[in-house]
Amino acid sequence: MGSTHNDRHWARTLAAGVAAAATLAAGMLVAGTADAADMRDPFERSIQNGNPGLWANLGTITFSNGHKYEGMEQSLGVVDKVNGKNVYCIQADTLYTGTAGTWGEWTDAKTKPDAQRLAWLTDKYNGNTDDLTQAAIAGLIHQKLDPMGNEYLSGIERLGWKDGTSWDTYTAKMNSLWTEAVANTPSNLDMRYQYTIGKRKGTVTPSITTENGVEIAGIQYTATLNGPAVFDQTKTNTISGTTTGQAIHLPWTATGNGKVTWSVWRKIPKAVKLSSPNQNLMGPSDPETVSENIQFEVLNNFKPTIQSDQSDHRIEYGHAPEDDLTWHVDPTGGDWIEGATIKSTGTLYYFANKPVEGRTTVKDGVKAATATAAGDRDGATNHVDAASITMDPDFVKTHPGATPSSLPDTGWYTWVWQITPDMQDANMKQYLSTDYDWSDNVLEAESTQHVRNMQPTIKSSVSDAYKTDQSTVTGADGTERPSVQIGSAQASDKTDVVYLEKGSVIRDKVTLNVTDVNGDGKVDTQDWLHTKDGQGEGKETEDNQITLTVNGTIYGGMTREQAEQAQKDTAAGKTVELPKQAVKLATATFTTNKAGDYLISSSDEDKPVAQWKAEDGVNLTNLPSGYATFVFDIANKDQDTENQTGIEPSRDYPFAKDVHEAPFTADETVMFRLTPKLDSTVSSKEVKAGETTIDKLVVAKTNEKDVWPTYPETNVTEGETAKSTPLSLDFHGVLYKVSDDPSAAIEQTDTVPENAVKVHEADIKDVTRFGTYTTDSFTLTESGTYAWHWVMTPSLTGDQNHNPLAALAWRQLTHGRVQHAFGLASEIVRVQGRKPETPRCEVSTRSQGEVTLENGRADLHDELLLKNCEQAAKAEFELWKQANGDQSGDVLITVTGKVGAKDGVHSPTVTVKETGTYYWREKVYDQTGRLVSYGDARKPNETVTVREKQLASTGTGVLPAVAAGMLLAGLGAAFALRNRRRA
């Protein structure tokens, strides 16, 4: 065993000797100090003197230059320490014998960048004892700085690491360390400065970066300012710190005017090289202080500004455009310099329209006044009031009497403040740059609207006032019709009129508003004047708007022609004067301090804001027929501003101008329909049997100012004015026998008594004016008491003498029944005694009885029957359509031409197109044209019924057909009123 032991020992000794030679050849310390005096067993796991590193397996490494290490183990790591710093071999093919030689800076330009990175890396890991880490650093030094390094590393890779570390692990460590060195080795110092607030404040940036320009963390530095500036953080001219891997901005502030030089010192380790007679070494030096500097200019001034907040952004006449100022600094110029007192001049400009920020300039306005202010700190305030405002002389010349509290116009007043060096005291100019010229220009938010006056508006609408009216009137035919009819420009009469029955409630709806004085596109309380307690910022509300007095007047008694022309002139903007015949009918006054709709009515049931008050001698229930217009006024002289605002009214206060609504403004015209008063007088109140009598019908005014309606002719040549045609009316009179006793008393009533017997009828047609109209004579043959009764029987739904504007005629005439009372003393005839009877001409007709309506038409004719009528010469036939109710609602369809009066002669044929009940009435004239006989109405033998043709059926539907006939008959009666014609 001993032999074996000795062999093994010899082998180790031999191997150790070989390994020592290889270690020296590879530049590795294996034993002893730097001069290798004390050799160790090459099989130990740590390298010479306990320096960290790794051993390779036994083997041979051959270099391309012929050098060779044969049969040896290799170690790679720190070879020694010099001045406490690790040093490493940089000649793999040369024996290491110690640290003899000269240390100096790394001078090889090609490898210097890598040497610098490796110096940083070795400096960082100088105290690190990890074998793998130090072996990797040594490997990187061979790889980057040793010409034979890569061949040597290839040999190590082939031999492998003795402790089993894989080559991949080793190279990965090398790569990570190199990446770290590249990323963190300082290479450049990028010094920059930047102004942040003028030239008074700024930053300096000492950027310590890698060769690739990446900021490096962990580098200590010191920065110094030489000149009139200090660092904000230290308040001195020096600051120190350590880089963080991001740009460091060091803020500074100027303390005066001049040049500032700033310098930066930082410590960076450098690569050093041992030039040795045996093997060269590489290591890091102690970090060296490096400095650089740069110069820039500083100025110690600032930028004062003013915030103008006019105390009241809306003022009324009697108040000054006050302003509240707050001093500030422009952040770009730094803080307010202590001890600086800055002055500013403000100019008050007048603008007719609201200034628009960014568009309106002082050139668009008129200089009105000036004021001055001073501030000594950021946040200082000033208040500008009437006492500190000086009016501009030129402005006063053009506006005599103008003062800060008595500005002349409604418009916008804006303060524009300016700060320049020329405004400053001599010792304060230094704090502003010589070209400093600050102005807040024209700002919308800093403008005050001066309201010298307000401007109310008024628009009234009669149609709105009546649109819910439900009142009716019963016509002559028994039909109820609306008492109010609203015309329009689209109606057939092309007028803007509301038609009213006499006695209707008089209404008008007024819309009160004000104009947009401040031009903000909306109408609100800012466009009103306010009471004393409601003036001032935030105090102006609807509740304290001044109260306005509004006066309204109705003028009437005018003709259609006057109304229509006035409407046209008003619409065209012409001045309209009321005609002399216009009558002032009523007035109304109301007060309000709110915009809105207001109803003025003659009835308190409408709960109006005011009631119409009739003028002396005017009855609101019997206003003149004809056209009337409403006129409203809001005049300065009528306003009570002295008590509300403390200022008396004047020509232009409180309103810029009086408000006057012109006569016949759109939707301000009414027409009171003609309602004639009927009366009649018999020619003789007492006659003898057999004597004749006549009656005189009086068509009179119900109001002395009544106007007879007209309508225009048609078929007028273009360009000519249509002539006016008076409305044509018909009246039907009936003579009733009331008693056989000539002395019987007759009670005056509104209706015809049931016991009254109709003995004669008369018609007065085509009445076109107020006046008296006489009937034909009539012979009374029987004694007794008789009375006339007259009813207006308008034919207004026909053509009105072939005029298609019958609708206009119909609108202007009352839709109610017009008659006089029955039993008027002037209408009573008393017949005494009886003459011997003489044969009387008896006239009757024989109708067709019943006729079928076929193909929408039916042909009707009548047969004349005469007895004792030798004097008869001519006959004409009237065809009437019978209405429901009494005869007053019957409608005349047509009057035929005259034919020879012979017994059995037939009337001309008349075609009708509606079902219903019709009857014939005949008139017989003698040779002189005197009416001999007029047939009675509704006589059975003179009645003809027009029915629809019956369809073949199973017997059902008869009753509905009859009902339909009755309905059509009723409608026919109504439509006949609309289609009555006069031949």
How remote is the C-alpha of 23 from its chain's centroid?
95
Nearest CA to 505 among 464, 471, 458? 471
* pTM > 0.75: no
Find residue 500's DSSP bridge partners.
484, 672
Beta-carbon contacts of residue 326 (< 8 Å; ≥ 6 apart): 306, 307, 309, 379, 380, 381
Report helix, strand or coil for 756.
coil
- Report the pLDDT averaged over residues 580-603: 95
- Report the pLDDT averaged over residues 938-947: 89
Report the DSSP pairing between strands 447-451 and 314-316. Answer: parallel
Report the DSSP pairing between strands 916-925 and 874-881. Answer: antiparallel
**Would you state the pLDDT for residue 695?**
92
**Would you state the pLDDT for residue 495?**
58
819 compared with 884, residue with greater pLDDT: 819
Amino acid at position 897, single letter: G
Q: Please calculate the CA angle 969-973-974 and round it to the nearest 5 degrees.
A: 120
Nearest CA to 57 among 32, 38, 76? 76
What is the spatial distance between Cα 212 and Cα 209, in angstroms, rounded to a whole number? 7
- Report the pLDDT averaged over residues 588-613: 96
Taking the alpha carbons at both ends of the chain, their separation in whole angstroms is: 170
What is the spatial distance between Cα 167 and Cα 290, in angstroms, rounded to a whole number? 40
- Report the pLDDT averaged over residues 559-582: 89
The 10s digit of each residue's pLDDT in 601-658 is 999 999 999 999 999 999 999 999 999 999 999 999 999 999 999 999 998 899 989 9
**Would you state the pLDDT for residue 32?**
28
Nearest CA to 874 among 846, 895, 853, 851? 895
What value does the mean pLDDT of the chain take? 83
- Report the pLDDT averaged over residues 242-261: 87
% of the chain surpassing 90 pLDDT: 43
Whether 980 shows a pLDDT value over 80: the answer reads: no
Whether 715 shows a pLDDT value over 70: the answer reads: no
DSSP character at residue 827 = G
The 10s digit of each residue's pLDDT in 183-211 is 888 877 778 889 887 788 899 888 787 77
The 10s digit of each residue's pLDDT in 737-750 is 999 999 888 888 98
Whether 721 shows a pLDDT value over 80: the answer reads: no
CB atoms within 10 A of CB 470: 7
Rounded (10°) CA dihedral 222, 226, 227, 232: 10
What is the DSSP secondary-structure string of 642-708?
HHHTS---BTTBSBSS-EEPPTT-TT-EEEEPB-PEEEEEES-SEEETTEEE-EEEEEE-SSTT---
Whether 963 shows a pLDDT value over 50: the answer reads: no
Whether 3 shows a pLDDT value over 60: the answer reads: no
What is the spatial distance between Cα 759 and Cα 778, in angstroms, rounded to a whole number? 10
- Token pair for residue 769? 């004016």
- Report the pLDDT averaged over residues 572-595: 93
503 compared with 712, residue with greater pLDDT: 503
User: Directed axis angle between helix 131-145 and helix 149-159, to 10°?
Assistant: 140
**Would you state the pLDDT for residue 983?**
25
The pair phi, psi for residue 487, each rounded to 5°, is -85, 175
- Report the pLDDT averaged over residues 294-300: 87
User: Directed axis angle between helix 131-145 and helix 112-124, to 10°?
Assistant: 170
- Report the pLDDT averaged over residues 950-977: 37
Q: Please calculate the CA angle 881-882-884 and round it to the nearest 5 degrees.
A: 140
The 10s digit of each residue's pLDDT in 334-377 is 889 888 999 999 999 999 888 888 899 999 999 999 999 999 99
982 compared with 60, residue with greater pLDDT: 60
673 compared with 517, residue with greater pLDDT: 673
